[in-house]
Amino acid sequence: MLSSGTRCTIMSGNEVTHILMTSSRSLLKSGLQAGVKRGGRSFLWICRIIIPISLLTTLLQWAGWLDRIAFLFDPLMSFLNLPSQAALPIISGMLTNIYVAIAAMTAIPFTVEQMTLIAIFTLICHNLITEGIIQHKSGISVIKITLIRIAAAIAAVLVCSQVLGDTGQLIAATAPVTDTGPLLPAIRNWGMDLIALLLRILGIVMAVMIMQELSESLGWTKHLVRAFRPLMRVLGLSQQSSTLWVTSAAFGLMYGGAVTIDKVRKGSLRKEELERLHISIGINHGLIEDPALFLALALNPLWLWGPKLLTAIVAVQLYRAVQHLRGRLRS
């Protein structure tokens, strides 16, 4: 026989277990709902960008205007081992965001290797104006970080192009200037391709947003931070930077910027530590969402995640070497 006190203890344990299970279910439900809402909003926002830009690019291609202006970018694109038409998604991505670059890429007949190089460049060097301002406000000169990101993107593409082979010519030419052909079939083909692309993007964005919200609501982000601490040495960063790096690398500079600004105000990081962090996350942020978007173009995941991570490591280590050399020369 169990005493009444023992029965009360057992009941209390059951109640605690029930409360914990209820709390976990509640967190899962709230995280799932928040992820679906964020995914829906993000997808609609992406559609507002991709649909008009993709249509405009298709019309420019159909009219032959891309051929007329392509020669202006021949020297730069030739240096990057890309056709001149690659300037449109690259420059669009640099000035705006990855979604615009993807929209431009889908309207031009690039090879898989060419799309891979454009993706590598864009993943490192995109949204320079907005993200540059965010990083400037949180600890590094906008000019410095912009130049570093451009140089890093160029270096990464040059190295990767040596592995991917001949990427300088399009498989198919863009629409001819003298004979544009019927517009209606071009629009119909654009619409069918766009629907397929948007469905793939919807699935990817929903999965990413739900995972992010579940990670935050269930407290997985704290465990991620602890898991990444041993990697800080390889990344060339201080242990104090781990939380900021995980936040920015996983969720992007928009999220990480707010946390970084708070740390700057508290004086948690020295200037040299802060600049190393900014170089790393400037090149290597949005590790979950940004590369995943290019999966909709059937690109190899290794090329989407690997080069930007390795480029960030090399850039930070070079920065550390330069700072060390400067210190020795001053002494």
* Digit-coded pLDDT (tens) for 223-233: 766 777 788 88
User: How many domains does the structure of the chain reveal?
Assistant: 1
Judge whether 287 lies within some domain.
yes
Distance of CA 83 to the CA centre of its chain: 24
Q: What is the pLDDT of residues 186-234, one digit of tens each?
A: 888 888 888 887 887 788 778 877 877 777 777 776 776 677 778 888 9
Cα separation, 1 vs 142, whole angstroms: 74
Which DSSP state fits 80?
A: T
Q: Report if residue 174 sits inside a domain.
A: yes
Structural domain including 284 reads 32-330
CA 66 from chain centre, in angstroms, equals 27
What tens digit of pLDDT does each residue of 166-185 get?
887 776 554 444 445 688 88
CA distance 169 to 106: 16
Q: Is residue 8 part of a domain?
A: no
Dihedral of CA atoms 120, 316, 244, 202 in degrees, nearest 10, equals 0
Half-sphere exposure of residue 150: CA atoms within 13 angstroms, side-chain side: 13
Q: What is the pLDDT of residue 112?
A: 93
pLDDT for the residue 210: 83
The answer for residues whose C-beta is within 8 angstroms of residue 193's C-beta and 6 or more apart is 106
**6 falls within a domain:** no
Rounded to whole angstroms, the Cα distance separating 187 from 141 reads 44
CA distances from 117 to 64, 106, 179 (A): 24, 14, 30
The position carrying tokens 């026989």 is 1
The confidence score (pLDDT) of residue 154 equals 96
Which sign does the torsion angle of CA 143, 303, 175, 51 carry? negative
Could you tell me if residue 11 is inside a domain?
no
pLDDT of residue 256: 64
Residue 114: inside a domain, yes or no?
yes
pTM for the model: 0.74
